[in-house]
Chains A and B, each alone.
Chain A
Amino acid sequence: MSADASAHAETPAGVGQGTITPSGWRSTKLPDVKLLMWVFLASDCMFFGSLIGTYLAYHDRSLTGPFPADVFDIPLTTVSSFVLLMSSLLMVLALHALRSDDIPKFRLWTLGVAAFGTIFLGFQVFEFVHFVNAGLSIHQNLFGTTFFILTGTHGIHVSVGVLWLLAILISSYKKPTSSKDAVYLEIAGLYWHFVDIVWIVIFTVVYLVEFV
């Protein structure tokens, strides 16, 4: 490989892709936090992948009931999935509002995402209580173990997201917020969309597949 002889001393190659920020030179125009969130989400894919893999490995291996078809209520879960999906739409609206410096709208939609997320969690709790009353628990059989831990982990992710959005919302009252801070909402949005997509996968692989 020949030495790089075409570089100019004062403006070497690659400089054009970078930018000077208050924290110093950055070699790309991607904000640090956004790159961090993408990397985190890549990792979280493997996290949920392993849990879903565990569920699939133990599918149909429970020695005793209740079994999935005994307890699943597809219409109900469809409604809660729809709520979560709609929350992602509200998230898009919130980000758009903040980028347009429409702070009241940004606050409204952000509250909406948190509210829809909480409604989803409410549905989850309702559903879990119904399953427990039907005799399903993590001690009962492999279905109970794998189902509750998988959906429980997802539920914790949703809860973290709700808390995060509420913190952003409250913080917007404590100090002036503008489109300059949009990247922090954007990464919350990336996280939220990811959690939503994971739910779509779980809904398909765990719930819908039972009735195919």
Chain B
Amino acid sequence: MPHFTLQVTPAGPIVDAFVGVSAARQAALQAAGQQVPMPVRIRALVDTGASATCIDPSVPVALGLTPTGNISMTTPSTGTTPHSADVYDVALLIPGPTFPPLTLPTIPVAAVDLLQAQGFHALIGRDILGACVFHYNGAVGTFTLAF
């Protein structure tokens, strides 16, 4: 099973990743004669406390995306009343120190505010972790993601 191991940072298990348009949107852009935007480099926190993968709204803006979905979400900022969040289809690539990278050509991500102030652009949630093995070794300060 491909995997990589990284150091846990003071902010937690963080990976550098790239977010781009989904494979299907890329094909539609090319068919319409439009330029495909370059993927955006992001910092993402692996977060077992997030049931869905979330992204800062600046990322879909940079990619020229419009929402293709919508979910209900509760967070500490919403209290117990679910709030609506836009969902975007994107491609996610996490290039660890070993080959191959974790590549997800088409996944849904929910837009949430207040991430950048916490030092990253995305939360890798349990929807992605559900297909991975995530090992957090606090004793030596590393984490491993196998996929």
A and B held together in a complex: no
Binding site for A on B (CB under 8 A): none
